[in-house]
Structure 1
Amino acid sequence: MADRFHTTTSAQFQNRWDSSPVSEEDVVDTLEAIVKRFDLRGYLLITVPSETSTDFSSNVLMTSWPDEMLKTYDHAGLIFGSPVIERLRQSTTPFTYDADRTNRTRLDGKAAIAAALFERHGVPRGAYFPAHNSAGLRGALAFGGSREPLHPREMAELNAVANRIFTEVIELREGRRQNVSLSRREIECLSWASAGKTSVEMSEILGLSEYTVNHYLNRATRKLDAVNRVQAVAKAIRAGLLR
């Protein structure tokens, strides 16, 4: 099955993208097809977290990881000291991972927690494929499962589509955000949130009630199609709405 996939995936992917407008549903269909054909469990498309990132979820563009896994990852603070994220920041070469072996290099004493999380959710092994768009934004496409490590030929095939998928998703998101219009108050609240201020602190700074501050933040979060204020801030920065 994998050999047959090698001869068709790139062509099918390219034909679909070139023959009709791309939608996020097209991307999801493609990712799910890859997962199925390679006998994997899930996929993850991210922007590479910056050195100042305090959570992982705000960098996730698309994933089949369950919400519980993402929440547990962030609650345990596994973004700090992650050998995978550190490698993505330093290299553009695709690489495989083994949750148990890879996390042994952690210096924060959370190796067992990280390995157990990936094992529990069925993605103890997999691979990451670094990507970037024309503006220099860096990301990665990852696949995980419990099968044996991906072979070199499989790695090459997946690497061939990673950059295109990342670029298309970023363009789709940016195109959608160009139509997003935030009010002055929404931008002010997001700006202070990006500076680490709480709702109470923002209410004192802006001379508004805490309820009103939360109202502006919640409305901006919905407009930006974000799951929380942290992700809303990240999306607003990437869209050029915050300076």
Structure 2
Amino acid sequence: MAPLSQTSTEEDDYIKEIVGLKTQFDIFRFMKRVTEAYRSRAFMVLNLPPITSFDLQGSTVITSWPAELLALYDQEGLLVNSPVLRRLRTSARPFFYDMSRHNLSRDDGKSILVASLFERFKMMRCAYFPTHEPSGLRGAVSFAGDREPFSPAEMRELCYIAIHVFDRLAEIRNLDTRMTDTLTDREIDCLNWTAAGKTSAEIAEILTLSEHTVNHYLNRATKKLDTVNRTQAVAKALRIGLIK
């Protein structure tokens, strides 16, 4: 994948690819490619956290941030007085934030800590693109790294991608919700026990059913979840919160 400005591919081709993505993981891989194409180090797609929120991870949809950075960010409670989140809540315009240049004054006195933390992971420069879905839920897509600031053309291209990615994630979430509504209690029970490592014969004994009936429930659940086998069905059910 190359930046839109460096390829003859029509912009519609990028959107067609996004529309064809079926899962959050598909979008994660797509966004990883976009991040690399624009010479950044990490991306994040998040729902705009409420003012009362204390952690970033709870509002993150998908991200390639280093796990250690995300954990330290929340451990230090850096979301509460974040100037970036303050701006995202009050403006719908994309913006570029350079921690080495901007005044990082924070009410909590953690400006130096924030700067050193992001410098350590070479993510001092970030572009943010406010987004929203049809329901009105607000969010943002960001790209971070240590390259030179994005050009105006790159900011437009990334904004275009961000809008469609956020919208596609909302569509996938809505599809997953509808799938959840169509599964029966027995189908969910069978998925739960499969996730626990039980065979069809063992599940049949636990639920006092025939093995044939258990296989029937699992096959129906697999089809309803638009997956090709039980392993994928269990993985998807776990991802959308259908089973734990």
Number of the residue aligned with 1:191: none
Instruction: Answer yes or no: is the 8 Å Cα contact 1:131–1:138 preserved in 2.
Output: yes
Number of the residue aligned with 1:140: 140
Return the TM-score normalized by structure 2. 0.69
2:10, 2:56 → 1: CA distance?
29
AA paired with 1:98?
Answer: D
Distance 1:175 1:100, change over 3 A: same
Number of the residue aligned with 1:48: 48
Number of the residue aligned with 1:192: none
RMSD: 2.7
Return the TM-score normalized by structure 1. 0.69
Distance 1:113 1:8, change over 3 A: farther
Which residues of structure 2 form unaligned runs of 5+?
186-235
Number of the residue aligned with 1:112: 112
Alignment of 1:123 onto 2:119: no
AA paired with 2:60?
Answer: V
Distance 1:144 1:9, change over 3 A: farther
- The Cα of 1:164 is off from its aligned counterpart by 1.1
- The Cα of 1:3 is off from its aligned counterpart by 6.5
Instruction: Answer yes or no: is the 8 Å Cα contact 1:54–1:79 preserved in 2.
Output: yes
The secondary structure found in structure 1 opposite 2:140 is strand
Larger radius of gyration, structure 1 or 2? 2
Number of the residue aligned with 2:169: 169
Distance 1:26 1:100, change over 3 A: same
2:150, 2:67 → 1: CA distance?
26
CA shift digits 1:133-192 (9 cap, x unpaired): 1111000000011101111110011111111101111221232234447x9xxxxxxxxx
Equivalent residues, number: 189
2:43, 2:30 → 1: CA distance?
11
Instruction: Answer yes or no: is the 8 Å Cα contact 2:3–2:34 preserved in 1.
Output: no
Where do 1:70-85 residues align within 5 Å? 70-85=70-85
- The Cα of 1:88 is off from its aligned counterpart by 0.5
Distance 1:223 1:54, change over 3 A: farther
Distance 1:117 1:7, change over 3 A: farther
AA paired with 1:15?
Answer: K
Q: Percent same amino acid among aligned pairs?
A: 35
AA paired with 2:46?
Answer: I
Number of the residue aligned with 2:16: 15
Which deviates further from its counterpart, 4-13 or 123-132?
4-13
Number of the residue aligned with 1:27: 27
Where do 1:204-223 residues align within 5 Å? none
CA shift digits 1:89-143 (9 cap, x unpaired): 1110000011244462212100011111111112110200000011110000000
- The Cα of 1:14 is off from its aligned counterpart by 1.4
CA shift digits 1:7-60 (9 cap, x unpaired): 547333212245x45332331232112111111111000001111112111000
Instruction: Answer yes or no: is the 8 Å Cα contact 1:10–1:160 preserved in 2.
Output: no
1:51, 1:224 → 2: CA distance?
29
Alignment of 1:94 onto 2:94: yes
The secondary structure found in structure 2 opposite 1:80 is coil
Which deviates further from its counterpart, 125-134 or 101-110?
101-110
- The Cα of 1:6 is off from its aligned counterpart by 6.2
Which residues of structure 1 form unaligned runs of 5+?
184-221, 227-231, 233-243
